């Protein structure tokens, strides 16, 4: 007898946050899969979206993390107890120890294990109507200031307060907090417009916000929710298109969305679902991992994570209804990256293949694929004009303690071009680096290590001489400030660098300001509002892509 009983028909579960409505087809339940109530399905879907989807995908086909479909789990011989153990303890490969860390309770882990043994619910599409309805203009363009209220505005910093869904605007000159702006949930990145006047944030929840730095109290002037899940935003930086467009890269639905740069009015969108560059099989969930705007062409560089393709999106004819895309086969899974010193070459990590992909944006083709260390994580990387190697671009790694510096001048320094010209080694065991940074006016290369299991290393900042590559100093987060040191960022002139101390949401922490010459801690930015600070973005350095 093949007939069986199933609970419910199609149910529509608006998730607890109200941000994601998953259509849960309980009729899809697998034979013998552990049953879930509607309430449990709702809760599990929300936890999955918040904690798991980033690495494993909404459709659970896998990306940075392995595939988690019921068939796949069964094939790997994983029963409910084994799955619970994975969720509780994590793995050395990078899976967090959600149970040990206390992020998920035992009951929640049991729920998630049962959820994973059922087929993934269909993630909803986001209609254009919904997008348009979410669009809010707080200050119309004509009511915005005609000139900057504060002469220091190009040295302002936007600081992501990640887990509280806010962005702090700090005057980099006076170190004063100017405003705290409500943005999307778990903001992933901030970018500035070509003029620098507008700063854009994109939340994990797909909400894009634009903040006007010319206001006396910089504040958001418009916002719109264009995806359920997103990681990237940038603007049109080509001559004649300054501040004209913004573009959001979505994780779900897999797409990019083009917006008016000043008021975020939605203009158009295109899907990024495509075929893997290598197997040529279909990947519905081909997500936009990161976006960077070219300064010299009307192009955005979109890194399509799963497909392993770099898309050069030409926005020159958007107003005529044309979007042009060069789809360049590269490597899996693309993550983030940055410009070389000349801003002709874009370098991006293929983090599961331990490669850096180099795209020539002038010739619109792949220039090289460079083998680096385990799980490169460049952020934007760091550029050094080196007397011996010529211009080099460096990346740290999550998976090991070395920093790889790649030669980027195939003409005058051909010998070092598109290979690791220099390895730099950090002290202590293991990797865990997320960001490195330098500045043309600084002699130092600064590296964090927040993902290292050693608490001491998590709270250390490593300062290297950028020419000799020798470790000059290891800076430590002061004992009275809880959290990990993360994301070095220079001020406009390169005379200071700032470090976030990333603690738990319920603990105020701090932003540390170091003198970039003496390496002395010159200021601790504190306050009850300093919660989970992560990325910080100096207006000038971000508008000019200085790193």
Query: For binding to its own copies (CB under 8 A), which residues are involved?
Result: 2-9, 25, 27-29, 31, 125, 127-128, 131, 253, 255, 266, 268-271, 273-275, 277, 279-282, 317, 320-330, 364-366
Q: What is the per-residue DSSP string for 472-508?
A: EEEEE--TTS-SEEEEEEE-TTSSEEEEEEE--TTS-
Q: How many CA atoms lie within 13 A of 434 on its CB side?
A: 19
The minimum distance between CB 126 and its own copies, in angstroms, equals 9
Residues in the chain: 547
Distances (CA, A) of 451 to 327, 331, 340, 359: 33, 24, 26, 28
Take residue 314 and report the two structure tokens written for it.
């030409």
CA distance 233 to 307: 19
Residue 151, burial from CB neighbour count under 10 angstroms (0-12, 13-18, 19+): exposed
Residue 81, burial from CB neighbour count under 10 angstroms (0-12, 13-18, 19+): exposed
The minimum distance between CB 230 and its own copies, in angstroms, equals 16
Report the residue number, 234 or 314, with the smaller CB distance to its own copies.
314
CA distance 11 to 8: 7
Give yes or no for a contact between 499 and 487, defined as CB atoms under 8 angstroms apart: yes
- DSSP H or E stretch at residue 70: helix 70-75
Report the residue number, 79 or 317, with the smaller CB distance to its own copies.
317
CA distance 255 to 270: 6
The minimum distance between CB 246 and its own copies, in angstroms, equals 16
Q: Is 487 one of the catalytic residues?
A: no
Q: Which residue has tokens 């890269």?
A: 249
Q: Which of 95, 295, 327, 413 is catalytic?
A: 95
For residue 264, the SS3 value is: coil
* C-alpha 29, offset from chain centre: 34
Q: Is 397 one of the catalytic residues?
A: no
The minimum distance between CB 77 and its own copies, in angstroms, equals 21
Q: At what angle do helices 106-116 and 80-89 cross, to 10 degrees?
A: 130
Report the residue number, 31 or 107, with the smaller CB distance to its own copies.
31
Comparing C-alpha atoms, which of 459, 476, 471 is closest to residue 514?
A: 476
The minimum distance between CB 313 and its own copies, in angstroms, equals 10
Report the residue number, 8 or 527, with the smaller CB distance to its own copies.
8
Report the residue number, 242 or 360, with the smaller CB distance to its own copies.
360
Distances (CA, A) of 352 to 171, 422, 458: 38, 22, 23
Q: Which of 41, 56, 58, 352 is catalytic?
A: 56
Q: Which of 58, 188, 335, 487 is catalytic?
A: 335
The minimum distance between CB 420 and its own copies, in angstroms, equals 23
CA distance 159 to 167: 5
Give yes or no for a contact between 211 and 221, defined as CB atoms under 8 angstroms apart: yes
Q: Is 405 one of the catalytic residues?
A: no
Report the residue number, 328 or 349, with the smaller CB distance to its own copies.
328
Q: Which of 377, 386, 397, 487 is catalytic?
A: 377
Report the residue number, 84 or 269, with the smaller CB distance to its own copies.
269
| Catalytic residue list | 52, 55-56, 95, 335, 377
């Amino acid at each position: 007898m093949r007939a069986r009983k199933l609970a419910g028909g199609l149910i529509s579960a608006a998730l607890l946050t109200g941000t994601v409505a998953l259509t849960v087809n309980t009729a899809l339940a697998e034979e013998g899969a552990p049953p879930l109530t509607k309430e449990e399905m709702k809760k599990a879907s929300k936890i999955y979206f918040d904690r798991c989807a980033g690495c494993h995908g909404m459709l659970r086909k896998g990306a940075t993390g392995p595939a988690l479909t019921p068939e796949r789990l069964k094939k790997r011989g994983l029963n409910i107890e084994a799955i619970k153990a994975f969720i509780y303890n994590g793995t050395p490969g990078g899976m967090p120890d959600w149970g040990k860390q206390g992020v998920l309770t035992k009951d929640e882990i049991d729920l998630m294990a049962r959820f994973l043994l059922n087929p993934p619910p269909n993630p909803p599409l986001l209609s254009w109507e919904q997008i348009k309805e979410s669009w809010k203009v707080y200050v119309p363009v004509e009511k915005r200031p005609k000139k900057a209220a504060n002469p220091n505005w190009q040295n302002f910093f936007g600081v992501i307060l990640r887990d509280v869904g806010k962005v702090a605007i700090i005057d980099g000159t006076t170190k004063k907090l100017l405003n705290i702006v409500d943005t999307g949930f778990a903001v992933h990145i901030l970018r500035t417009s070509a003029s620098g006047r507008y700063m854009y944030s994109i939340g994990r929840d797909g909400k894009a916000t634009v903040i006007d730095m010319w206001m006396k109290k910089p504040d958001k002037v418009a916002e719109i929710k264009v995806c359920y899940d997103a990681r990237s935003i940038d603007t049109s930086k080509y001559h004649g298109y300054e501040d004209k467009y913004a573009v959001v890269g979505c994780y779900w639905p897999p797409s990019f969305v083009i917006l008016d740069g000043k008021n975020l009015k939605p203009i158009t969108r295109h899907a990024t679902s495509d075929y893997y560059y290598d197997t040529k099989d279909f990947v519905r969930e081909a997500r936009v991992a990161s976006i960077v705007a070219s300064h010299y062409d009307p192009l955005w560089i979109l890194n399509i994570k799963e497909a392993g393709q770099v898309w050069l999106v030409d926005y020159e004819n958007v107003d005529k209804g044309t979007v042009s895309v060069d789809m360049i086969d590269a490597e899996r899974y693309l993550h983030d990256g940055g410009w070389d010193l000349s801003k002709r070459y874009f370098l991006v990590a293929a983090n599961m293949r331990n490669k850096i992909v180099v795209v020539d944006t002038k010739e619109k083709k792949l220039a090289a694929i460079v083998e680096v260390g385990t799980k490169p994580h460049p952020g934007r990387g760091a550029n050094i004009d080196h007397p011996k190697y010529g211009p080099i671009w460096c990346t740290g790694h999550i998976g090991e303690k070395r920093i790889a510096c790649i030669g980027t001048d195939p003409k005058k320094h051909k010998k070092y071009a598109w290979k690791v010209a220099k390895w730099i080694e950090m002290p202590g065991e293991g990797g865990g680096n997320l960001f490195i940074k330098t500045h043309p006016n600084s002699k130092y290369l600064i590296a964090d290590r927040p993902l290292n299991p050693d608490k001491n290393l998590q709270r250390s900042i490593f300062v290297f001489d950028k020419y000799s590559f020798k470790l000059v100093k290891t800076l430590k987060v002061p004992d009275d400030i809880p959290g990990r040191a993360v994301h070095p960022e220079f001020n406009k002139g390169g005379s200071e660098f700032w470090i976030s101390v990333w603690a738990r949401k319920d603990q105020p922490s701090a932003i540390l300001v170091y003198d970039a010459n003496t390496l002395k801690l010159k200021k601790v930015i504190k306050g009850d509002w300093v919660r989970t600070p992560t990325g910080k973005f100096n207006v000038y350095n971000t508008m000019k892509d200085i790193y």
